[in-house]
């Protein structure tokens, strides 16, 4: 995630796209932190699952924004998206079992 953000931020020729991409990146980072709070802090897997859907959508939005600036940066987020999809599956399973 950090390397991908660095690749985007260093693109000086596309200032408007860089600012938009960085803004979306930090929104998805907020959703990432929020999921941890809902799942672990509040021990609420239902609320965490609803939030992780928002996280997945924000990661996809980040990938789209990064692709407009640097294709490699977008590709570096693929493992992150896959990990969050797996976490969503686990989150859903835990919610259903409780």
Nearest to 8 by CA among 67, 58, 61, 79: 67
pLDDT at 12: 83
How many domains are contained in the chain? 1
For residue 68, give the nearest of 34, 25, 27, 31 by alpha carbon. Answer: 25
* Domain residue limits at 89: 2-10+17-97
Does residue 72 carry a pLDDT above 90?
A: yes
Q: Which residue's structure tokens are 């860089």?
A: 18
Closest Cα partner for 62 from 20, 95, 92, 32? 20
List helix spans (H) across 11-77: 15-36, 45-69, 71-76
pLDDT at 26: 98
Residue 58 reports pLDDT greater than 90: yes
């Amino acid at each position: 995630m950090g390397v991908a953000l660095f690749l985007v931020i260093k693109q000086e020729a596309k200032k408007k796209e860089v600012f938009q991409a960085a803004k979306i990146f930090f929104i998805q980072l907020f959703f990432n932190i929020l999921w941890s709070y809902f799942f672990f802090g509040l021990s609420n897997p239902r609320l965490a699952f609803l939030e992780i859907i928002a996280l997945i959508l924000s990661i996809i939005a980040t990938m789209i924004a990064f692709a407009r600036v640097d294709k490699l940066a977008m590709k570096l987020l693929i493992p992150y998206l896959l990990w969050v999809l797996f976490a969503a599956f686990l989150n859903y399973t835990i919610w259903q079992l409780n």
